[in-house]
Amino acid sequence: MAARKRRDDVTSRDAYKPPAFLQVDVDGLWTVRQCYGRAVGDTFHTDPVWQQGMREFLALFDALRVKAGFFLVGRDLEVPSKRRMALEIAEAGHEIANHSYTHRIGLTKLKTDALKREIELAHDTIVEAGLPEPVGFRSPGYDVDERVLAVVRAMGYAYDASVLPSAMGPVMRIADAWIARRIQLEKRQFGRTIYVRAPRIPYFPNHHAIWKRLPLGEPGRMMEVPVSTLPPFGLPLTASAVFALGSDRVIELLARRHRRQPLLMLLHGVDLVDCTEPIVFDHRTTAVAGFNLSLEEKRAQLEPVLRYVCDHYHIARACDWVQRYTEPRTTAS
Ligand SMILES: [Zn+2]
């Protein structure tokens, strides 16, 4: 009997797959251009991220038979064709989440009123468009602090996914300025260096120091689902990492991760937009973040990594997964 039980335990352990969340920040081309200090032009209305990128992501997730999460920038829903596309994404069963109203990089620099407006307005716009009510938030450029989380928590959200536990921030800021060929002092991104100390797995953040867990026994209501990073340097697990290192190398690094840890892979709408013609940088082609790759080349890099994640993890929507831990306890009356 005892031997039988032990064998069963081993089997169930082998069958266990940790959860993985595939999340797409739907940063329109206008936000990407804005982010690098380029003129927006007509990219708010004529936006390949929505016209091509979203179609490609839907087809890819459909082929992989997984449900992902799409983090929307509220303002985009002012455009009827984008609104229709967002409804299609929701109808396909994917999670709809909040990625602020205007995608301002530097939410933590805003006064509390303006900060609240950025997050609440996006929420209201999403709901008014007929989309499911979001319960997850990610700050543009991973720029998050205690005030941002307080706003999201007060809105009754189940989770935030803005913390990047990486020491690569300063390096990424330099790379970013190099890509843009300018230093944008206004820009605040990649979080604080101390976030490298944040847990690598979902946790209940301390209200006064979001990179720390709540003390044991203190009931948490909102989870932090940190963006996963790759060993050894803590490069964020994004499509940009895949385009820069190649799919084989990323799979090799993924295999080195702790087997049982949940995973959050962060994708961006532009990751499946054809960049044969330059869409952001016209002064030269840049080999960073896939801005020099055709759609076919991007797919060829990204697909094997996503297949690896699908094989080794149980793909879940974060909104469903966190619910088990954040559901308010009903009190007997
Ligand atoms: Zn974004």
Instruction: Tell me the pLDDT band of 12, cut-offs 50, 70 and 90.
Output: low
Residues 6 or more apart whose Cβ sits within 8 Å of residue 296? none
Total domains in the chain come to: 1
Domain assignment present for 333: no
CA of 105 to the centre of ligand 1 (A): 8
Predicted confidence (pLDDT) at residue 8 exceeds the cutoff of 70: no
What pLDDT, in 10s, does the model give residues 143-177? Answer: 999 999 999 999 999 999 999 998 777 677 777 77
* Residue of 254, 248, 258, 259 whose CA lies nearest to 304: 248
Instruction: Measure 140 CA to ligand 1 centroid, in angstroms.
Output: 4
Residue 332 belongs to a domain: no
pLDDT band at 332 (very low <50, low <70, confident <90, very high): very low
Instruction: Measure 153 CA to ligand 1 centroid, in angstroms.
Output: 20
Mean pLDDT of the chain: 88
Secondary structure letter of residue 256 according to DSSP = T
pLDDT for residue 216: 72
Ligand 1 mean position, distance from CA 20 (Å)? 20
Distance 219 CA to ligand 1 centre (A): 30
Residue 5 in any domain: the answer is no
| Structure confidence by residue, pLDDT tens digits, 81-109 | 999 999 999 999 999 999 999 999 999 99
| Domain containing residue 100 | 20-326
Which CATH number covers residue 196?
3.20.20.370
Domain for residue 151, yes or no? yes
Helices (H), 65-109: 80-91
Number of other CB atoms surrounding residue 257 within 10 Å? 17
Task: Decide if 193 is inside a domain.
Answer: yes
Q: Is residue 188 included in any domain, yes or no? A: yes
Average pLDDT over residues 265-269: 97
Tell me phi and psi for residue 53, to 5 degrees.
-55, -50
- pLDDT, residue 289, reads 72
In a domain, residue 8? The reply is: no
**11 Cα to the center of ligand 1, angstroms:** 41
Task: Give distance in angstroms: CA of 99 to centre of ligand 1.
Answer: 7
| Over residues 63-88, mean pLDDT | 98
In a domain, 7, yes or no: no
